[in-house]
Structure 1
Amino acid sequence: MVAFQTALNDEVIYWVRQQGFMLLLCAAVLMAFVWPQPGHANAVGYADLAADLSVALIFFVQGLSLATKKMLAGSRPVRLHVFVLGWNFILFPALASLLNAPMSFLLGQELCMGFWMLAILPTTIASATALTAASGGAVPQAIFVSILSNLLAVLLVPLLAVAYLSHASGADVSLFPVLIKLCWLVLLPLALGQCLRRSCRAWSIAVSQRARWLPQVAILYIVYLSFAQTVSSGVLTTLSIGRLLTVLCGVLLLLLLVSGAVWRSSGLINLGPGERVAAFYAASQKSIATGLPLLTAVFAAASLPWDTGLILVPLIVYHPLQLLLGGILVPRFNERA
């Protein structure tokens, strides 16, 4: 009995460590409901400045930790990268648009907009690479295409987001302020991190390894602030349990549809088993690490009339579900290998 209890405790501790970020993400959302004061109008200026600094910190640390030579090792085959990028920025948004049509009768404009914003985001870097490695897949290819997707997203996400926001609002949303803000918050910190990595390689590697927790803390803060502003605005009081369940079911359906379509279509382009696993994870996942800062910068520069916290709800829901599905599929992919 004692041995069983010890084993059970070890399993619980292991699960908590594996799902630590997901649990903290849920805690950040709950904290916004308990302590929404930073979202009040009087505190928004300081909170937005802190959010901007958090975004810059995320990309600075990514620049420090980005191994250029390792990334270039996975540049072949080209068809794998075209396949993943096509799903990231074309086919995924197309499926989301089809799903949005029937859900528009059940959800408000902000939540439907959130599905579209989720669909145009790049793939994950850390999760896609880690799940590919755990599944016996082609890790260099996963690294290369996931980084390429995130770099392209710096240009594509603002273009697609501004075009959609202009159409949805009927207003003229200028792209120039968005790009300027993204240059300050994304490109400049990323380039600075890369320059420091090239000039002070040993120091930058040591700092990036010790600061791996900083981007996660920054993401948690951005999530907390977004929901705190949502709670303070009183919009959630108009959001029923039924609409929340609809969002959850819609996100789950979108994840399963995309995952199934990605896996089946990846068998049509003559990829090896390991390359097919890398293509699956990179094409079906969406990055909260890159996507949330990009969307935050776009929303801030565009001065939207809607509640941005509600727009982020589908992304917040999709992130833990994709990790859960990826973890479930790891042993299945290993069996195939």
Structure 2
Amino acid sequence: MKRRITIKEFLHKQVLLVGILACIFAAAVHPEFGSRQGPLYTEYSVKYGAVSLIFFISGLSLKTELIEHTFHHYKLHLFIQSFTFILIPTFSHLFVRFLHFFGINSWVLKGLVTVACMPPPVSSAVILTRSANGNETAAIFNSVLGSFLGIIITPLLLFLGLGYTTLIPLFGTIIQLTTTVLIPLTLGQVLRKITGLKRLHPALNTLSQCALLFVLYTTFCDTFKTPEPHIEALDVLAAVFSVVLMQMILMGLSYSLAQYYNSDFSSQDIIAIMFCSTHKSLTLGIPILRIMFHGYAHLSQVSLPLLVYHPTQIILGGMMVSQLKDWVHLDRSGNRPPV
């Protein structure tokens, strides 16, 4: 007879999901505290504090030989970038045509197309991959690579999808990725070699999780605080339904396609694929939307899918972490059942 899991065991196993839900609750109660205009100075404490700390700890934990191996895994990188910049934009056009028959606001649908053109974020996909014991090195490499490619590809996709586009600040994006990702990661690797570190102390893993939750908390604060007037309840419901359905289909599709090539990808690779290829950047997306649709009365409806997409991808990812960790454990023991 199978033993029933106690509440304490469940909470310990789902600690990331519980933390995410706590962040959402705290942000909803008092969003001003963790917003950009709040007392935490999130434009510095998050970008140059928490995010840099996360990648510094990643640098400490990653084996150098594993990094070199991952760099040469070109099939994995090609799969993720093709899924991000080719398959998702193509799927979004078909998906939007399907939703059009249900009478959903056309500006909300334009927002879905815009979301599909965005590059991946450099934090959430990486941290969820790490939490699920996936290929963290591949997640970091492809998140950074996708952000660089997005500088060129995203404007082209927006032009093809909507007929107009905007430029992404090249210099600013490179500086941000270098200071918040590449430099902390390199410093972590250097310190790992100097100290001869073999295994990361559990306290550092806990610190990394806390930094992640701080990033998520401030993100949710900004989401709740963002003033979006002229939005009808029906538009909100349509956006939530469309985004959740879209993400579930994309995650299922990325998993199924990766499983088809299971001789090339391990279970850890597939976890990185599921998160990196389907996640979209809110940090870059919102400024692009503000520039593209500045002065439009429908800016709020266009922005709505991206505002919904970002927290949804984190919540769905958090719900899957525990199951994916068990999957990796079974795969290492020689038994690889489907998720």
Question: Do the two structures share a fold, i.e. TM-score over 0.5?
Answer: yes
| CA deviation after TM superposition for structure 1 residue 336, in Å | 6.8
Post-superposition offset of 1:256: 2.6
Q: How many residues end up aligned between the 2 structures?
A: 316
Q: In the alignment, is the contact (CA less than 8 A) between 2:51 and 2:180 conserved in 1?
A: yes
Shift of 1:34: 0.8
Q: Find out whether 1:153 has 2:146 as its counterpart.
A: yes
Q: Which aligned pairs between 1:15-30 and structure 2 lie closer than 5 A?
A: 15-30=10-25
Aligned to 2:276, the other structure's residue is in SS state: coil
State the one-letter code of the partner of 2:108.
G
Preserved contact between residue 158 and residue 298 of structure 1 (Cα < 8 Å): no
Summarize deviations over 1:1-36 as a string: whole Å, max 9, x none.
xxx9xx65x432222222221222122122122112
Contact 1:74–1:144 at 8 Å: present in 2 too? yes
Does the CA-based 8 Å contact 1:39-1:225 persist in structure 2?
Answer: yes
Residues 216-225 or 322-331, more deviating: 322-331
- 1:58-97 equivalent positions in 2, closer than 5 A: 58-73=54-69, 78-97=74-93
CA contact (8 A) 1:93 1:119 kept: no
| One-letter identity of the residue aligned with 2:79 | F
Paired residues of 2:56 and 2:185 also in contact (CA < 8 A): yes
1:218 paired to 2:211: yes
- 1:334 is paired with a residue whose SS is coil
CA contact (8 A) 2:76 2:265 kept: yes
How far does the alpha carbon of each residue in 1:72-94 deviate from its partner, in whole angstroms, 9 at most, with x for none?
45677754553344324432343
Q: Distance in 1 between matches of 2:33 and 2:245?
A: 31
Q: 1:286 aligns with which of 259, 276, 279?
A: 276
**Among 227, 232, 245, the residue aligned to 1:234:** 227
| Offset of residue 321 of structure 1 | 2.5
In structure 1, distance between residues paired with 2:173 and 2:45: 18
In structure 2, the CA distance between the partners of 1:295 and 1:70, relative to structure 1 (3 Å rule), is same
Q: Which residue of 1 aligns with 2:313?
A: 318
TM-score (ref. length: structure 1): 0.69
Deviations 1:270-292 (A, max 9, x none): x43x836455433332389xx78
Hey, what's the Cα distance between the residues in 2 that align with 1:227 and 1:112? 20
State the 1:96 CA deviation.
3.5
| 1:99 corresponds to 2:95 | yes
Q: Secondary structure at the match of 1:197?
A: helix
Q: Deviations over 1:81-127 (max 9, x none)?
A: 53344324432343245334555843637953673267745794565
Are the counterparts in 1 of residues 59 and 187 from structure 2 also a CA contact under 8 Å? yes
* Alignment partner of 1:194 out of 186, 189, 196: 189
> What residue ranges of structure 2 are gaps of 5+ in the alignment?
none
Partner residue in 2 for 1:112? 112
Q: Where does residue 28 of structure 2 map in the other structure?
A: 33
Closer/same/farther in 2, CA of residues 63 and 103 from structure 1, 3 Å limit: farther
CA RMSD of aligned residues (A): 4.6
Q: Which structure is higher in helix share?
A: 1
Distance 1:224 1:100, change over 3 A: farther
Q: Write the distance in 1 (CA, Å) between the matches of 2:110 and 2:196.
A: 44
Specify the alignment match of 1:296 in structure 2: 283
Code of the aligned partner of 1:20:
V
In the alignment, structure 1 segments of 5+ residues that lack a partner are 134-138
- For residues 171 and 320 of structure 1, do their structure 2 counterparts lie closer, same or farther at Cα, with a shift above 3 Å needed? closer
| 1:188 shift after superposition | 2.0
Structure 1: distance between partners of 2:26 and 2:69: 43
The Cα of 1:54 is off from its aligned counterpart by 2.0
- Distance in 2, matches of 1:96 and 1:113, equals 6
- For 2:117 and 2:217, the matched residues in 1 are separated by 19
Per-residue Cα deviation, 1:162-200 (whole angstroms, up to 9, x for no partner): 666797985544322222222222222222222222223
Secondary structure of 2:273's match?
helix
Query: Residue 138 of structure 2 contacts residue 272 of structure 2 at CA under 8 Å; is this kept in 1?
Result: yes
CA distance in 2 between partners of 1:219 and 1:263 (Å): 28
- In structure 1, how many angstroms separate the alpha carbons of the residues matched to 2:210 and 2:163? 32
Q: 2:53 aligns with which of 57, 62, 68?
A: 57
Asked whether the 8 Å contact 2:34–2:42 carries over to 1, the reply is yes
Q: Are 1:286 and 1:319, in contact at CA under 8 Å, matched by a contact in 2?
A: no
State the AA in 1 paired with 2:177: L
CA shift for structure 1 position 253:
3.9
- The whole-number CA distance in structure 1 between the counterparts of 2:256 and 2:92 is 17
